[in-house]
Structure 1
Amino acid sequence: MRLALPPWAGALAVKAAAFITVMSCALAALLGVLVHVSVTNQTVGQARDLALSRLADATQAYEAGDTLLPGAGVDPGGLPAPLRELAANGKRGTMVATYRGRPTMWAAGPVSGHRALAVEVDYSQQSRTIAGLDQSILWSSALAIGATVLVGVFAVTRVTRRLHGTARVARRITAGDLDARVNDPRTKDPSRPQDEVAAVAAALDSMASSLQGKLLSEQRFTADVAHELRTPLTGLHAAAELLPPGRPTELVRDRVAALRTLTEDLLEISRLDTGRERLEVDTEELGALAGRVVRASGTETDVRILKDARVETDRRRLERVLGNLVANAHKHGAPPVVVTVDGAVVTVRDHGGGYPLYLVAHGPQRFRTEGGAKGHGLGLTIALGQAEVLGARLTFTNAVDGGAVATLTLPVAE
């Protein structure tokens, strides 16, 4: 069974936990070995000193012809062979070995006839002490490692939570929510320690505020320019209507109409940018609405209803979205243009060269066109903005066999 990590536990937390665990284990192992070696050397040294002391007493008794004490003897049966050989060569030594099922410290030295005088000392208590010490080291090391890992992971995950929070705010800003801020408490209180995460959060908040200010300034400029142009354009339109019939008059009226349309589009975009648009929701039959839009466009557009649906939407805004998509398909694409209704999904497809790559990747951008196309890029920008107001999703793709495909997915009425 695979355990799912919490959303805040990313690669950094996992790596930090692994590093802390490895370092804790290495430190515990090093300390455990040092303690084990130190205590073992001390315990073995004490047992060796005791065994050599008894060997000295046994040697004196043997040389004086006295009876040897229990635990001492010449060439005893349990004496380890290496120690027996050492004593036979005229040297003294000690060795721990198992004798009669228990640990025993042996001490042996030479006596006449190349024989070995040996003394045995019970080493069971010392052996149990060392074994108990090793077990205590293991348990204490495990507890220390566990506590260290828990504290370390807690400290690291506090940092990763803040980093994930900063990343979420950055994604919200990327999606267009310019009011999003990290608001890290450390950036509000200079008396608190300012770590690197707080510095990143403060920099992101500052960047978002600066970006929001610049965008709001641009939006106000666009709205002000479009608004100021309406009055002279109205007068210019009225004056153009008074001109005598003729080719020059038609050209003037056409340019005035194009300029008025551009101005109205800019005003609509400025309203969408400021979020002042409000919905007038009603239930609509999507197939019938698509048919009305196509008839109003006056274009040769095929409407196909695979599955009709009732949607709760703002009729005027939805007609604006579909109308712009149909107009764009005829203006920049090639026939046949097909509007397909499949439930709450409406697609508008032409059979031209398709959308530019930048539009498919990043969406429509105002006043940007490629490939010699005429227009200002405002129609699709308005369609996308109105779709967002409707709570719908509008995507732009290119068909495999050629042609641009705009897909509008609407919420279904319950």
Structure 2
Amino acid sequence: MPLSPYSFTVTERFLRYVQIDTQSDPHSETYPSTEKQKDLSRVLVQELQQMGVTEVELDDYGYVYATLPATTAKTGVPVICFCSHVDTSPDCSGANVKPIVHTRYDGSDLVLPDDPAQIIRMSDHPDLKDQIGNDLITASGTTLLGADNKAGVAEIMDAVHYLISHPELEHGTIKILFTPDEEIGRGTAKVDLEKLGADFGYTIDGETLGSLEDETFSADAVHIRIQGVSQHPGFAKGRMESAIKIASELVARLPKDHLSPETTEDKEGFVHPTYLHGTVEEAEVELIIRDFAEAGLHEKEAFLKQLTEEVLAQYPNSAADFKVIEQYRNMKEVLDQYPQVAQYAVEAIERSGIAARQMSIRGGTDGSRLSFMGLPCPNLFAGEHAFHSRHEWVSRQDMEKAVEVIVNLAQIWAEKA
């Protein structure tokens, strides 16, 4: 049901949060990977305390844990967690973000002023057809916006504000978790689920209004380190085997018409190179492997290993170290054991007056790992679109609906207990 009368704070919070640079770094070995992620986390702790949340903590690893006490006299109400991540993607700059509010969007092209070559067109972003009359928020053209996932952060914060402002609403104990490093696959690496103390959870990190994602990719990373043979180029005939050329040949032989992100959709998986660096003597190639079924992951990894061996066969004095690193698995394997988690989310969405859409996500969330760690955790819409790019956008109205859904969910779990 609509939260009325209520003056939402989600947009004001969002506009402030995106101006804090929280980009994570996949090549850092620290936790969190960048200290600047804590700049936002400290703001969140302070704001929660100002709202009256007394049980709130920022730990050394950059996780924010907070608790809203139950307002219901019922016993046995499951403890529910709402989770979002504070970091933004390394794929596009998150520094000096200048958010712009485009009021009453009319369907025309949005030219971003700091780089007029960056134009957000409805033809490129079909979901914009559902945003006519809404207030859209974009960056200025030189950075990403950070709606992934600061929209979710702001929505959770506004939902907390609403619940505290309306103590007459009955709900069980609510846990809040803000994580670092989700964008580099480490969002749950140092999370303390015992400290969190939740039974079920929801990440607020999805796209389209009304969407509930209860299925994700399964994911692995592959690191290939190539050892070539270095020689002085003036005396290299018959001796040099350049690791740079070997790595480049390997990447060039990946399929161009299938098995790549740019040629797949729906339930199709892919093999995707994300990093290439090297010298004549040594080179590294990093790839990500994605499929909805674990067997599909193994098939793609076997293909990639065979391809590596075929390339190396032309370079008899070179070698490669082929390493597979598990990242996350399809959350549906866990969530199917707890159907009420998705069912209650569908009811919460429909109570907000919008149609619920159960979807699969061609990606992963913290919820993927959390589910397998013992906290079943599907993903709810946050309204973020075109994430990891300078065309990223979100609407005020979608964010406000997400706040309503979070509040509805808190009540539904108490009602059903």
Q: TM-score, normalised by structure 2?
A: 0.21
Q: TM-score, normalised by structure 1?
A: 0.21
Q: Which has the higher contact order (CA 8 A, sep 6+)?
A: 2
Structure 1 or 2: more helix by fraction: 1
Q: Rg: which structure is higher? A: 1
